[in-house]
A = this chain, B = another copy of it.
């Protein structure tokens, strides 16, 4: 059973203390689908301009990523340029060119509508809602967002949060969304949004960069450390790679959508491990060659690093 992802395909120009790359493949849907396709087939919903190179499309196809939902329209592909600080913990956006993204009105091919696992990557929450409307009965919908929508489209964001199963945010976004410094209290608030109406969301994953990730549910917590790395080259795409490893592992383990809490915990570890590989190189470079065997090695190491008898 395939995973459906809706998000961006972009051409990124990125500067970190360890180098600079220009107009390389980026965007949430790119990172996610290259990560998740290590586990299961991926159905991609996105938009790109006619300037997206055939080599990039070929990369997706070579990984069995279904491009029936990708619109290629006249014009330029979405572009983003950013620069990371010395410690890689903060970044400055130098330029955002939406380009063809302004024409994005996701229409799901018929074959996509029965998807059991869905990732609504970081795009306008109104588009995320439009996609949700077209999916029949997903078992798990994961939602990503960002400060831009928290500030500018709060109502639509609240609406979509109340209709998904798990929300993915970084620690700064969770604090901003809930106007509180305490992540624990903020998590409780996110989980209560829409709860009265829909009983959703039931989970929140807080991404904490080099400090790992935490899954909050009404039943408890699960902490995953970041895999310890000596050399991080480019943090771009870490969050979407996390989502790809997380949903990919779940969809592979429970294709029918009947996943368990132990599976969810393992999925969080898979997410952090896939992200740890992504950040070791620029763009999607490391995801091109990554294998499930590589992932398994770090997964076992993380178990050693966290378990106590």
Q: How far is B212's CA from A305's CA once the two chains are assembled, in angstroms?
A: 13
Within the assembled complex, what's the spacing in Å between the Cα atoms of A212 and B306? Answer: 12
Q: Is A220 an interface residue (CB 8 A)?
A: yes
Binary CB contact string for chain A from 191 to 229 against chain B (1 if under 8 A, 0 otherwise): 000000000000000001011101000001111010011
Q: A308 to B269, Cβ gap below 8 A?
A: yes
From A72-80, A159-167, A182-190, the one touching the partner chain is A182-190
A87 within 8 Å of B by Cβ? yes
Q: Are A262 and B309 in contact (CB under 8 A)?
A: yes
CB of A263, distance to nearest CB on chain B (Å): 9
Q: A208-B211, A211-B208, A211-B211 given as contacts; is B306 within 8 A of A223 (CB)? A: yes
Q: Which residues of B contact A153 (CB under 8 A)?
A: none
Q: How far is the CA of A199 from the CA of B98 in the complex (A)?
A: 57
Chain B residues lying within 8 Å of A181, measured Cβ to Cβ, are: 86-88
Tell me whether A265 is interfacial, beta carbon within 8 Å.
yes
Q: How far is the CA of A29 from the CA of B208 in the complex (A)?
A: 33
Residue of B nearest to A181 (CB): B87
CB distance from A254 to the nearest CB of B (A): 14
The answer to whether B262 touches A229, judged by C-beta atoms less than 8 angstroms apart, is: no
Tell me, rounded to whole Å, the shortest Cβ–Cβ distance linking A85 to chain B: 9
Q: Does A55 interact with chain B (Cβ within 8 Å)?
A: no
Check if B182 sits within 8 Å of A230, measured CB to CB: yes
The 9 sampled A-B contact pairs (Cβ below 8 Å) are A182-B229, A183-B210, A183-B228, A211-B211, A222-B308, A225-B225, A262-B309, A265-B308, A306-B306
**What are the 9 tightest A-B residue pairs by CB atom distance, in nearest-first order?**
A223-B225, A265-B308, A211-B211, A87-B181, A221-B305, A262-B309, A184-B230, A184-B228, A306-B306
